[in-house]
Amino acid sequence: MTMQVPGLPESGIAQCAAWAGDGSHRLPMM
C-alpha cells in the first residue's frame, strides 16, 4: 500500500516500512 502524506513524505515512507514489518525490504518509489 502506497500512502502519500502531504507535508511528511519521509515519515510516510518510514511508517510504511515499519508497518510492513521490515520483512520484504520494499520501499515505495515516488
pLDDT at position 9 is 57
Is the whole model's pTM more than 0.95, yes or no? no
Q: Can you tell me which residue has the cell 515512507?
A: 13
pLDDT at position 12 is 59
Q: What share of the chain is helix, strand, coil (3-state, %, to 5)?
A: 40, 0, 60
Encode pLDDT of 1-30 as tens digits.
Answer: 566 656 655 655 656 555 555 555 555 554
For residue 19, what is the enclosing H or E element?
helix 9-20
pLDDT at position 30 is 47
